[in-house]
Structure formats: structure tokens, C-alpha cells
Amino acid sequence: MKLTANLYSTLLQRVAMTLLTLVCAAVLFSGGFITRPALAAEQAEVQEVRLWRAPDYTRVVFDLDRQVKYSVFALENPHRVVIDLTGVVMQTDLSQLDFKDSPVTGMRSGKRADADLRIVLDLANGVNPSSFMLAANGELKDRLVVDLYDAGVVPAVPDLAMEERQEEARQRDIIVAIDAGHGGEDPGALGYDKRIREKDVALAIARAIFDRLEAVPGYRPVLVRDGDYSVQLQRRPQIARQNRADIFLSIHADSFSTTRAEGVTVYALSERIAEDENVRRVAEKENSADLLGGVAGDTSLRDIEDDLARTLLDLSMAWSIEQSVTAGSYILNSLSSVATLRRDKTQQGNLWVLRSPDIPSLLIETGYLSNPDEAKQLNTAAYQRRLADGIVQGVMRYFYDRPPEDTLVAWQKANNIAPTLAGSNLAGSHVVVRGDSLSMIAQRYGVTTSALREANNLRGDVVQLGQELTIPGAGSRSVQEPLAVEHKTVPGETLSGIAARYRVSLASLRNANNLRNDVIHVGQVLKIPAP
């Protein structure tokens, strides 16, 4: 009886083990609860969606964590483009996309099957879609590129090598927030004759800065106020932050008890109480602006309770102040050939409008309305444009020397493409790259070959790869002419690709360079017209 019991127990254990093995196998291989997370983990992801407008098409880029199978087709009544992706899930918010100036009116997505994704682009009008995959390259992920060509435009056959370069060059603009001081019921300082008002002068100069920067590829200006109305002091840097500004410029004009005071002064924030009487006076004048509208109080950062938050904020503020002072020196240097400088260094004061912990911020007093001669100058469109040009030149030099990594300006600097203002080189120097010649470099920066030789103590026209050349006259010329950009072609580039990069039309690029067709040559220097 004992033997029988032992045998029974052994058999029971073996049956149990067999059943357990079968259950595990069934779970692993028959689509049970373990396989579903594994399947989900294997799905590719749409991690980001980007969209922008080119001269004759709209480009939509889907950043993926791997290459996938897909199909693209267009539908009518209503117009839309449908993108089906196999084994893909959406991991980004489509509601934040900006469809401005494009035929796309909306974008939505949904599951088509358990592992498939359908994306629908709603359109205002019909388009001709073209699509292709780009492999991951450096920091760039695998991408699905969908080009929506305008009606009547035949989609180009993609040059994938060129597309790779264009994707690398496709970077964001530097955003400059321009704040015209005072406004509305607050006129600001009054001229010697009580007729010239600070708010009007500031707005005119701000608009001139806006117009100048708008013509420069890689920059996007934003006006804090674009009319005769009041904006609270605390609200002005908030508007800059909402637009993700890289720098904040507040434009003003000053007044003093005597008629002799003159010249430009640039201010950055100081957390210390200013000891200089002039700085205290300006701070008192500018900080009192909101009192007219019933807005008072201190916006001191010391109100923050949390020690860690205050420490981090203080560090950020220290960086912001440091960069503000540096940017101010660039602007003063550029303005030195345009206007009289009251102070040749960036001043610091406790100015509310500059209290932005994450944006370099400057207040620019463009002159004295209490000085009859300077007031008359400040009230003329010609002088306002000269001041605007000097400020823009300083801003561009500052960002050329320290461009944010994800910007077009950073890409331009890496590729030795130096934007110019009035033929004045913003770089100051040029590093020789493959294909450069002395005459070509001279042409690019608007100087003579002999001047370039003399500035670098060259006996002939031979230059070496990697050699750094000083550009004579960089930043020394007066600012009068419109902004200009030149581009030297490299292997694989097309005229349409260059037009798209600089956001100009193909026709305007042809006209600017007297081209009869779209044929270009390696090393050819093209003039880039203003958009």
C-alpha cells in the first residue's frame, strides 16, 4: 500500500509539472497576456511632428524611432491626405502644431488596426503629395518626409543625399522680442517743445528694427506692442517668454533737466540697488510707467519661498544678466558709428521690465528728447532707421558669436556663411574650407583681394585649408543698405533646395543672380534676396 501511494504521488507531481509546462508554452506562444506587452513594445513610435512652408510646397516630417512601412494617398470632397503606417503608435500631441500659411487646416490620427496607425491631414485645397524615408543620421532620427506640393506644381524626384543636408540645415529662427516703451495714456518723456513724445519715437524705432530683422534668414522678430496702447510692465517680458524669445529689447528715449544731455545708453538688470544717480533716475522714470494705469508693486524675485527654486532662479538670473551685459556691449559697439554714446559700457539698474530670469534683456535709451538737436533727429525716419540698423547689427554679431545650438545661425556659422549688413562682415574672420580661394573669400565679404592680402600679411593669393583669415573692415562701415546674405554652393545642392533653405522663391533667387535657368555650379556664390 505504501509503494502504491509513493507511485501515485510521483505520477501526480509529473502530471502537475507537465501541465505547468504546457500552460507556460501556451501563454508564451498563443497570444496570451504575456505576448501583448511584448507586441506593444515592438511597435515603432511617432515621437515628433514638424511642419513648415517652402516657396511652392509644405513639408511635414514625422520623427520615428525606426524605419517603417507606409503608404500615402490623397482624397477629395473634402481635400485630405492620408498616411498609413504599419506597426506604429502616436506618441506626440498633434494639437500644438502651427498650420499658419500652409494648406493644412488640421491633423488627426487613430488606430487602423491593432498595430497600424492612420494620420489624416485636412486641407483647405488640393495638393500633390510626395513622400520618402530618411535614415537616422547623427542626432537626427529616422524620418518620414511628406511634401505637399501646391496645385499645378509637379513633385520633384527626391535627392535623398540633398534632403539629408537640408534636414540638417533646417533649424529654428532666433526670436527677438522688441518692446516699444510706454504707449496709450502714458506718453513717456516729452521733447523740449512738448510735441515729440517718447512713445511715438520708441514705436517707430521698434518697427524699423522689426522690418530689418524680418528680412534676415534665421531671425524672427516679435513686437510687444504694435500700436498706441498701454502694456503693463510685468506683461511685456511675459509676451517675450510666450513667444520663446532669445533676447528682449525695450526701446526708449530719455529726458533730463538740461538741454545738453545727449547720447545712447544701454541698460541691463542689476539685483543691487544702483548707486549711480543717473541709473537710479532712469529706473525711477521707467518703473513708474504702470502707476498711470493703477499697477504698482514690486516684482522682486526674492518673494519666492522655496530655497531650491530660489537658488535655481538666481543661477538662471545670473546667466541672463551676464548675457544681457555682453549683448549690450555688442549693440553699443555697433551704434558707435551711428550715434553719440552717452556711456560706452552697458549700465545696470533695477528695471522691472528687464526682470526675466531666462531671457537676456536690455533697455535701450536711444537719446534725449530734452536736447533740441537730438530730439529733432530722433523724430526723423532716416535717423530712426540708422538706429535700428545699428541695434540689429549688434544683435546679429552677438548671436553669430554665440548662436543657440538649434538655430539656423548656428548652422550658418558652422558652414562659414556669414550674414552681412551694409556689406559689413559680422564674423570678423573666416576659416578656409575646401574649395575656397582668396578672391572667392574677398567676394563673399565684400572686400578687395588686395585688402584681404594686406590684412593677413599674405605675399600671394595662396590660402591653406583651416587657415583663419582676418576680414578687414569688419563692423567698421556705416549702416545704410539692406541686409544681404550670400551662399556658396557645395556638391549635391540644387537651386530649389537653396531657395527652400533661405525661404525665398525660386524666381527671386534666379533674378537676384541673373540666372536663365536652374543650373548652378559647385563653388558658385549666390546672392540671397530678402524674403
SS (H, E, C) 42-53: HCEEEEEEEEEE
Query: Taking all residues of the chain, what is their mean pLDDT, rounded to a whole number?
Result: 77
Q: Which pLDDT score is estimated for 439?
A: 79
- pLDDT tens, residue by residue, 303-321: 444 554 545 445 567 778 8
The tally of CA atoms less than 13 A away on the side-chain side of residue 334 is 27
Mean pLDDT value of segment 228-248: 89
Give backbone dihedrals phi and psi of 469, rounded to 5 degrees, phi first: -105, 135
User: How far apart are alpha carbons 134 and 68 in whole angstroms?
Assistant: 11
- pLDDT tens, residue by residue, 162-208: 555 555 556 789 999 999 999 988 899 888 888 899 999 999 999 99
CATH number for the region 174-401 comes to 3.40.630.40
User: Going by DSSP bridges, is the β-strand pair 247-254/174-180 parallel, antiparallel, or unpaired?
Assistant: parallel
Write the CB contacts of 65 (distance below 8 Å, at least 6 apart in sequence).
Answer: 44, 45, 47, 141, 142
297 versus 122: the higher-pLDDT residue is 122
Q: Which pLDDT score is estimated for 297?
A: 39
Residue 407: is its pLDDT beyond 70? Answer: yes
301 versus 322: the higher-pLDDT residue is 322
Mean pLDDT value of segment 459-469: 82
- One-letter-per-residue 3-state SS of 96-151: HCCCCCCCEEEEEEEECCCCEEEEEEEECCCEEEEEEEECCECCECEEEEEEEEEC
* Dihedral angle, C-alpha 62, 67, 73, 74, nearest 10 °: 10
Mean pLDDT value of segment 341-359: 83
Mean pLDDT value of segment 277-284: 57
Q: Which pLDDT score is estimated for 408?
A: 85
- pLDDT tens, residue by residue, 10-53: 444 554 454 445 444 444 444 433 333 444 457 899 999 998 88
Which triple of cell numbers denotes residue 315?
A: 543661477
Q: Which pLDDT score is estimated for 79?
A: 93
* Rounded percentage of the chain residues whose pLDDT exceeds 90: 28
Q: Mean pLDDT check: name the lowest of 100-104, 360-364, 437-441, 443-447.
A: 443-447
Which of the listed ranges 232-236, 268-272, 501-505 does the model predict with the highest average pLDDT? 232-236
**C-alpha distances in Å from residue 75, one per residue of 72, 120, 136, 517:** 10, 10, 30, 34
Query: What SS3 class is residue 386?
Result: helix
User: How far apart are alpha carbons 31 and 180 in whole angstroms?
Assistant: 65
User: Going by DSSP bridges, is the β-strand pair 80-86/116-123 parallel, antiparallel, or unpaired?
Assistant: antiparallel
Q: Which pLDDT score is estimated for 459?
A: 87
User: How far apart are alpha carbons 342 and 346 in whole angstroms?
Assistant: 11
**C-alpha distances in Å from residue 455, one per residue of 291, 442, 449:** 55, 12, 10
**C-alpha distances in Å from residue 231, one per residue of 45, 81, 201, 291, 388:** 44, 43, 16, 12, 22
Query: What SS3 class is residue 359?
Result: coil
Residue at grid coordinates 539698474: 349
User: Going by DSSP bridges, is the β-strand pair 80-86/70-75 parallel, antiparallel, or unpaired?
Assistant: antiparallel
User: How far apart are alpha carbons 243 and 221 in whole angstroms?
Assistant: 10
Residue 277: is its pLDDT beyond 50? Answer: no
Residue 478: is its pLDDT beyond 50? Answer: no
CB atoms inside a 10 Å sphere around CB 421: 25
Mean pLDDT value of segment 63-75: 91
Q: Which pLDDT score is estimated for 488?
A: 76
User: How far apart are alpha carbons 196 and 217 in whole angstroms?
Assistant: 35
**C-alpha distances in Å from residue 108, one per residue of 44, 58, 123, 230, 381:** 18, 17, 12, 40, 48
Mean pLDDT value of segment 502-527: 81
- Is pTM beyond 0.75 here? no
Residue 375: is its pLDDT beyond 90? Answer: yes
Mean pLDDT value of segment 139-153: 83
Query: What SS3 class is residue 360?
Result: coil
Which triple of cell numbers denotes residue 518?
A: 536652374
Residue 421: is its pLDDT beyond 60? Answer: no
88 versus 432: the higher-pLDDT residue is 88
Q: Which pLDDT score is estimated for 106?
A: 93
Nearest to 384 by CA among 211, 204, 188, 222: 204
Q: Which pLDDT score is estimated for 107?
A: 94
Per the rule left: phi > 0, alpha: psi between -120 and 50, beta: everything else, 90 is beta
Q: Which pLDDT score is estimated for 475?
A: 42
Q: Which pLDDT score is estimated for 509?
A: 85
DSSP 183: B
Q: Angle at CA 423, nearest 5°, toward 421 and 424?
A: 70
* Rounded percentage of the chain residues whose pLDDT exceeds 70: 72
Q: Which fold has domain 43-165?
A: Immunoglobulin-like (2.60.40)
Q: Which pLDDT score is estimated for 357?
A: 72
CATH H-level, domain 415-528: superfamily: LysM domain (3.10.350.10)
Q: Which pLDDT score is estimated for 172?
A: 85
Q: Which residues pair with 483 in a beta bridge?
A: 421
Q: Which pLDDT score is estimated for 446?
A: 61
